Structure 1
Amino acid sequence: MDVIELLPRLHLLRFAVGQAYLWCDGDELTLVDAGPAGSGRVIADAVTALGHSPGAVRRVVLTHFHEDHAGGAAEFAALSGAEVLAHSADAAVLRREAPAPPPVLRDWERPLHAAALRLLPEGDFERPSQVSELSEGDVLAFGGGAHVLHVPGHTDGSIALHLPDQGVLFTGDTIAASPVDGSVVPGVFNLDGSRVLAALHRLAALDTRTACFGHGSPVTENASDVLREAADRSGAMR
């Protein structure tokens, strides 16, 4: 796992598939997503290397239920005592109270999806013992107030987190940066591509300096302009 400082209070944790983000408010930390299964100890070691106890991480906010983002949550929560949070629709999947709907793959996505799965641990992942539910409009106590935005499309319970005071946006897999040329694009492997495009337009309307994606390099300057350009391009493709 690579650990990259994006801002003095924000680090990117990059895994073989997907990535997570660590936000620091003094002696209280927040983890956004938790990597694939087996990542809990690796994340705890990274937190320690940055000068904090794993117990300083008060919450793990999951942008959606997919294994490359939620797979490490149970292990890390057991190590740190952190609360695990997810939107109510995806919390039900994480608790195995609802089935995990598979993505509706376009033909060109199928080989990419298969390649990503080969990089992930086989089998199901351990589920957190408790998952607190989030809803549209909730405000979490980090980063001066992190606003929960329900952006279904990638999954039914996908969320983004907007920190208006910091100009930071965590998009989950609703938006990505292309591994080919770094261009910002709608996420792939979705349940409903039209809803993802609508969510992209919604997120592009926010005042954002730093945009943190579930896959691909974040945008660390003038993110609003970059997201609006991506929304304009995607609108033209519909």
Structure 2
Amino acid sequence: MRISERLTMLSFPVGQGYLWRDGESLTLIDTGTAGSGAQIAASIAELGLDPAAVERIVITHGHNDHFGAAAEVRGWHGAPVLAHRADADIVRGSAMPGIPVLAGWEREIFEEVVPTVPAAPPCPVDVELLGGEVLDFGGGAHIVPVPGHTDGSVAVFLPAHGVLFTGDTIAYANDQVILGVFNTDPALAAASMRVQADLGADTVCFGHGAPVVTGGASALRAAVSRLE
């Protein structure tokens, strides 16, 4: 799905990733499930580019549906993988993700969806993020630590373009923005949602659910109000 000239959403069997374009250079934000490489390559070809155009892979958090194809894509041409230090060992395959604290209504969804997600091959993490970094794409991409879904969840904010990538900290379901599900610390996740609402993004791209293309800040603030 082309959201704009610079932004493409990749829809996987579970979850979503995004391609951000700066001229002939691409940044991949999340890679979908294991085996998604061919789909990612096809989307790159539709942009008239070669897979070598992927200059970096940013992982928003250490869940299999978000870094499953990272090793495959990194293997194309050595694009570095970036992930927060708290989730980096999960991506490397040497640690397990935290156990979510499930509300009653989440449990059935969790038991239905999670077993369908294939295991992610271990992937090297070339750059461990701490939060607060400004990366060299999108006019300066701010890495915002947003723990709560996982300890190492990050959002990626492009102030120059008003675009925010939330990973799974926030989602879109039932025609509205909601707090993401399956959080290891629901209260901390809610606090991270408030942080993102204050960024003033116009376009908000979620790990699950349709993006909010315009009016994102208002949609996030409304979601925060519903939490309270």
User: TM-score under structure 2 normalisation?
Assistant: 0.96
**Relative to structure 1, is the Cα distance of residues 16 and 97 closer, same or farther in structure 2, using a 3 angstrom cutoff?**
closer
State the partner residue of 1:207. Answer: 200
What number of residue pairs does the alignment pair up? 228
Which residue is equivalent to 2:60? 63
| Mapped pair 1:227 → 2:183 | no
Structure 1 residue 195 corresponds to structure 2 residue 176: no
CA shift for structure 1 position 94: 1.6
2:23 to 22, 26, 36: 26
Distance 1:91 1:131 in 2: 9
Q: CA–CA distance in 2 between the matches of 1:194 and 1:29?
A: 35
State the alpha-carbon separation in 2 of the partners of residues 96 and 208 from structure 1: 33
- Say whether residues 1:16 and 2:5 are aligned partners: no
Q: Hey, what's the Cα distance between the residues in 1 that align with 2:226 and 2:77?
A: 42
CA distance in 1 between counterparts of 2:77 and 2:186 reads: 36
Q: Which moved more, 1:9-18 or 1:104-113?
A: 104-113
Provide runs of 4+ in structure 1 moved above 6 Å: none
Tell me which of 13, 18, 33 is aligned to 1:36: 33
In the TM superposition, residue 127 of structure 1 has moved relative to its aligned partner by: 1.4
Instruction: Give the conservation status (yes or no) of the 8 Å contact 2:90–2:96.
Output: yes
CA positional deviation for 1:163: 0.4
Q: Retained in 1: the 8 A contact 2:97–2:150?
A: no
Give, as a single letter, the amino acid of the residue that structure 1 aligns with 2:100: P
Give the conservation status (yes or no) of the 8 Å contact 2:106–2:182.
yes
Give 3-state SS (helix, strand or coil) of 1:108's partner: helix
**2:157 match:** 162
Matched residue, 2:139 = 144
Residue 35 of structure 2 aligns with an amino acid whose one-letter code is G
Where structure 2 has 5 or more consecutive residues not aligned to the other structure, the ranges are none
What is the rounded CA distance, in whole Å, between the counterparts of 1:105 and 1:96 in structure 2? 24
Matched, 1:75 2:72: yes
Alignment CA distance shift 1:192-1:130 (3 Å): closer
User: For the residues of structure 1 that align with 2:125 and 2:212, how far apart are their CA atoms?
Assistant: 33
**How much does 1:120 deviate?**
2.1
Aligned mate of 1:133, from 128, 131, 135:
128
Determine what percentage of the aligned residue pairs are the same residue.
48
Instruction: Note the C-alpha offset of 1:118.
Output: 4.0
Per the TM alignment, residue 114 of structure 1 is displaced from its structure 2 partner at its CA by 1.7
Whole-angstrom CA distance in 1 between matches of 2:156 and 2:125: 21
What secondary structure does 1:68 align onto? helix
Shift of 1:207: 1.6
- Closer/same/farther in 2, CA of residues 40 and 224 from structure 1, 3 Å limit: same
Contact 1:40 1:74 in 2 (8 A): no
Distance 2:128 2:142 in 1: 14
Q: TM-score normalised to the size of structure 1?
A: 0.92
Give unmatched runs, 5+ long, in structure 1: none
Query: Are residues 1:86 and 2:80 paired?
Result: no
> 1:171: how far off?
0.4
